[in-house]
Amino acid sequence: MKQIELKDLETGKEYIVAFHKDKQWIPCVVKVIKEKNIKFICPKDQTSSPLETNKEYSINNFWHEHRGIDIFGNKFKMLNTFETIEICQLWCDFEKEICDFVN
């Protein structure tokens, strides 16, 4: 797993991330588009994804962490990415087991 700060995300690049939907994590691939804010979309060539095709998503929809605060009071957000879908699926399964055990 790798953590990437928002400013270091590359426009047009695809990343494997964990998407949060209905109280569970689902592995998926996202493509970065940058405008005023960084947005994520489902890649066009992807056949199965929990993401809607023509919808933009923010970092809050994916597994991320806060790493401190800048001088303006904004939180540094780090996107957690995975090397493969299989590794992401293992993390999602582990997270589900923890939630099931706690609840």
DSSP 28-71: EEEEEEESSSEEEE--TT-SS-SS-TT--B-GGGB-EEEEEE-T
* Domain map (residue ranges) of the chain: 2-102
pLDDT tens track for 34-49: 876 778 888 887 777 8
Task: Mention every residue, 6+ apart, whose C-beta is less than 8 A from residue 78.
Answer: 3, 4, 5, 6, 64, 65, 66, 67
- Degrees, nearest 5: CA angle 11-17-19: 115
Mean pLDDT value across the chain: 88
pLDDT tens track for 10-32: 999 999 999 998 888 999 999 99
- pTM, whole model, 2 decimals? 0.85
